[in-house]
Amino acid sequence: MKSTRNLKLNILVISSLFALIMILFASAAFAASVPEASGQINSKDGAVLRKSASTKSASLSVLSDNTKVTIQKEVFKSKTSTSKKKRWYYVKVNGKNGYIRADLIDNIKYDSVSGKTTAKINYRVGAGTKMKKKSSFKKGSKVTIVLKATPVYSARGSSSTWYKVKVGSKYFYLSSGKVKLIESTVKTASASSGAAASSHVTNPGILDDAKFEKYLDDEGFPDSYKKKLINLHKIHPNWGFVAYKTNIAWSTALSKQTNGGTSLVSGAFPSSYRDGTKQYEKGWYKANSKVVAYYMDPRNFLNENSIYMFEDLSYKPKYQTSSVVSAILSPTKLPSYGFTANIFVKAGELSNVSPVFLASRARQETGSGGDAVNGTEVLGTKVYNAFNIGAFGGTNPLYNGLLYAYAKGWTTPAKAVEGGAQELAKNYINQGQYTGYYQRFNVRNGVNKAGTHQYMTNIMAPYSEAASTKSSYTQYGILNQPLVFEIPVYEGMPASTKLP
């Protein structure tokens, strides 16, 4: 009888501990972490998995050519050299952890996580303060992090952990001390085995309404945002939502967005949408304050059709495929001018920008055809400008855009898309304007820059582009990918906004 009671007690204790572990495990889903990478051995003689990052270290095992490994971090053995023979990878393979020299691993594939710089920070060609400086990020810049890195001890600077980041099509390194992760790696438990399996997703996990509301509270969403976000979570539990507090008063932002020709509306819409009769561009009028307020208010677009204006626009090859891009381009005239889906996918990969976004932007700007994309000659040279970059000002904005394309050497559709994508990355996405919303309403760079440096004057552009993205995602069944949406929150917002 006594042994039975002890057995029951032991079972109860074990069950309680297991429940506690699972609670802690679930709460860890909210913590941001840097993803791992994958690679494979590239040596016909195999590679030695070692106990430490040195050829003199003890051998743990010998791995045959083409063996797949999981890379957990990169280790630098030199203060100034980035040679593969002076770098090691800390890997996991066949249940063991150890080090393999970098020149023995290839076919490396990275996942990524987003981060935001908390101060101005330099990025370098390798991990460590003695490595050659390439450039720097401003405070508040978004960075794409692919792996952890460890510099030589005497060159670590303020942090022993550095991040490997993707800038355009290349990789650089920066100290982790001034970077805040804004996406998370969630670990889920396998129902069959109970073992933990890593799956890089950017969401809080499947939660009931009460727990999801707690997640929204932790993120900093006001009550007026919650109902619609809870509804979206029920339909798409893989989605993640990030609140960005602009620290800008609603009235201030609205004033800046209604200044002069900052926000325009097409003459195809009712005259009640206009503020006056002046045409700032042919057929385009200044939008009145009610229209601006409606389209600036994020709460009006927290639905399945419009949420994509808040999507992170970095390159995600898993689902931003040629087929999806084709679905966006097919109703337009762009393919007939040589603007194929593959051009947009390649441009997205080179610039680390979503090709879906690039195609949606081209569809918005030049999808109906015209001189910007049909090979118009400028000074005897055919040029193309799929995104209408530089097409503003003066009496002929279109020609200004063509002159810009001529100066940039955009003499083929591919050059126009790749060059335009690089400019979008450099001038907008890498400047904190990494959603369609932020490119229309620049509230990501402080109150002094609000209403300036905006890609388009069309007040409805993010709404139209979001509809294109939704349509293509629906067609190819990828709505439940782990998408991340960063949604701005203003100070002193009105209870609601409505169109005239």
Whether residue 230 sits in one domain with residue 136: no
Whether residue 218 sits in one domain with residue 86: no
Whether residue 215 sits in one domain with residue 195: no
pLDDT at 392: 77
Whether residue 217 sits in one domain with residue 193: no
pLDDT at 32: 54
Residue 306 to residue 484: CA distance in whole angstroms: 14
Whether residue 468 sits in one domain with residue 322: yes
In a domain, 182, yes or no: yes
In a domain, 47, yes or no: yes
Query: Domain count of the chain?
Result: 2
Whether residue 402 sits in one domain with residue 259: yes
Domain stop point among 200, 228, 262: 200
CB contact at 8 A, 75 and 88: yes
Range 181-207 average pLDDT: 41
pLDDT at 5: 38
Note the pLDDT tens digit of each residue in 139-156.
999 899 999 999 998 888
pLDDT tops 90 at residue 95: no
Whether residue 187 sits in one domain with residue 48: yes
CATH of the domain at 160: 2.30.30.40
In a domain, 16, yes or no: no
248: nearest Cα among 295, 296, 182, 290: 296
Range 381-403 average pLDDT: 89
Which three-class secondary structure string do you get for 115-152?
A: EEECCCEEEECCCCCCCCEEEEECCCCEEEEEEEEECC
Percent of the chain, pLDDT > 70? 88
Whether residue 218 sits in one domain with residue 104: no
pLDDT tops 70 at residue 130: yes
What φ, ψ does residue 185 adopt, rounded to 5°? -100, 115
Whether residue 137 sits in one domain with residue 156: yes
Domain stop point among 174, 200, 226: 200
Domain stop point among 177, 200, 223: 200
Whether residue 228 sits in one domain with residue 195: no
In a domain, 313, yes or no: yes
Q: Is 436 exposed, middle or buried (0-12, 13-18, 19+ CB in 10 A)?
A: buried
In a domain, 206, yes or no: no
In a domain, 297, yes or no: yes
**pLDDT band of 477, cuts 50, 70, 90:** confident
pTM of the model: 0.58
In a domain, 347, yes or no: yes
Structural domain boundaries, residue 184: 31-200
pLDDT at 445: 87
In a domain, 236, yes or no: yes
| Strand-strand pairing, 68-76 and 142-150 | parallel
Whether residue 378 sits in one domain with residue 255: yes
pLDDT at 394: 65
pLDDT tops 80 at residue 4: no
Residue 318 to residue 345: CA distance in whole angstroms: 12
- Residue 154 or 100, more confident: 100
Note the pLDDT tens digit of each residue in 411-432.
999 999 999 999 988 888 878 8
Whether residue 258 sits in one domain with residue 191: no
